[in-house]
Amino acid sequence: MRVESLHVYPVKATAPVDLASARVELAGLRDDRRWAVVDPQGVRLNATTHGRLLTVTATPDESGALTLTAPDQRPLAVAVPIGGPMVPVNVTRLASMVDAGDDAATWFSQVLDEPVRLVWQDDPARRPISDKHGGLGAEPLSLADTGPLLLTTTSSLAQLDAWIAAEHEPQPMVMRRFRPNVVVEGSDVPFAEDDWRGLHIGDVPYRFAEHCDRCVVTTIDPLTLAHGKEPIRTLARHRKWAGKTWFGIRIVPLATGKVSVGDEVTVA
C-alpha cells in the first residue's frame, strides 16, 4: 500500500490544498486546520451552513502565511498574526484564538456576505485530543474535529461507489467530499482500515484514534455546492452503527517527520 494523495485545509471548512509532501507534526500535518472563520460572537463557521467557504482556497507558504483566493475576489496575502490580539471563540476545548486583522476579516466578509473574522490557532497544545475521541494525555490537536489526521482508502471509496451504483443511478463520489489528509491506495480489502491499530506511513509511526463518523458536509458537492443525499444515504445502509455512518479513520502521529505521495504504508 502507498500514499495516493495528501491534502491540507489551512482554513477550516475551506477547499483542500493538494501536496506532494508534507511535514508531520504531533498535532497533524503542518499548515492543516490552523485557521478558522468565526462570526461576531466567536462561533466557528462550517461548510454546512456556509457553503461558500468551500470555494475559498488558502495556500500556505513556508512561513505558514496564507494566500487567499476565491471566485470573483482579489487574492489576499495574510501573514501569520504572531503576537496579535487574542479574541474569545466558541470552539471545542479552545477558549481563544489570535485575530488575523481587518483586511482578512473584510475579505471573508465579502465572500460570505456577512460580518466575520479570520482567527489563527497559536498553539495546538492548548487544545489536546479529547479522551472521548482516542486522546491519550495531553496530545496536541489542530482545529480538526477530533483527531490530527484523517485517513481514507481508494478501495473503500470504490466499494461505496459500487453500492451506490447497485442501488441508485450511478453517482461516483469524489474523495474530496470526505476531506481526508492521507489517501491510501493498494489495499485489497475495502474498509480494511477499520481494523488498523498501528501503522507506518513512510518513516513516521501512527496509532489509531477512532473511526470517523460522517456528517452532512459530505452531501455537498465541493465544486457545484449542490446538496444531495449521497453518500450518507448509502453509508447508512451499509456502514451504520451506534446511530452514525462511518468512512475513514483518525490517526495520531507518534513522532514528527515527513510524508510524501508514493510513501509505503505498512500496518503493524
Domain harbouring 192, CATH code: 2.40.33.20
For residue 164, the number of C-alpha atoms closer than 13 Å in the C-beta half-sphere is 18
In a domain, 192, yes or no: yes
pLDDT surpasses 90 at 168: no
In a domain, 182, yes or no: yes
Are residue 155 and residue 244 in the same domain, yes or no?
yes
Integer Rg of the chain from CA: 18
- What pLDDT sits at residue 268? 86
**How does pLDDT run across 201-243, given as a tens digit for each residue?**
998 999 999 999 999 999 999 999 999 999 999 999 999 999 9
Give the lowest-confidence range in 35-49, 140-154, 166-180: 166-180
Are residue 184 and residue 243 in the same domain, yes or no?
yes
pLDDT surpasses 80 at 169: no
- What pLDDT sits at residue 78? 98
Mean pLDDT of the chain: 97
pLDDT surpasses 90 at 171: no
Are residue 228 and residue 172 in the same domain, yes or no?
yes
φ, ψ (nearest 5 deg) of residue 264: -75, 145
Report the DSSP beta bridge partners of residue 87. 97
Measure the CA angle with vertex 92, ends 105 and 194; round to 5°.
115
Q: Give the burial string for 46-84 (b: 16+ CB within 10 Å, else e).
A: bbeebbbbbbbbbbbeeebebebebeeeeebebbbbeeb
225 neighbors 55 (Cβ within 8 angstroms): yes
In a domain, 18, yes or no: no
CB count in 10 Å sphere of residue 20: 9
Are residue 68 and residue 150 in the same domain, yes or no?
no
In a domain, 25, yes or no: no
- What pLDDT sits at residue 170? 74
Judged by DSSP in three states, 53 sits in helix
- What pLDDT sits at residue 172? 87
Global pTM reads: 0.96
Instruction: Give how many domains the chain has, as a whole number.
Output: 2
In a domain, 38, yes or no: yes
Distance CA 128, CA 126 (A): 6
**How does pLDDT run across 10-56, given as a tens digit for each residue?**
999 999 999 999 999 999 999 999 999 999 999 999 999 999 999 99
Are residue 202 and residue 258 in the same domain, yes or no?
yes
Are residue 204 and residue 251 in the same domain, yes or no?
yes
**How does pLDDT run across 93-143, given as a tens digit for each residue?**
999 999 999 999 999 999 999 999 999 999 999 999 999 999 998 999 999
C-alpha distance from residue 84 to each of 92, 105, 137, 196, 205 (Å): 21, 14, 29, 41, 35
Concatenate the DSSP letters of all residues of 114-137 into one string.
S--EEEE-S-GGGSBPPGGGT--S
Are residue 50 and residue 154 in the same domain, yes or no?
no
Domain edge (last residue) among 71, 92, 123: 123
Amino acid (1-letter code) at residue 171: Q
User: What is the span of the domain harbouring residue 196?
Assistant: 131-137+143-267
pLDDT surpasses 90 at 252: yes
- What pLDDT sits at residue 201? 98
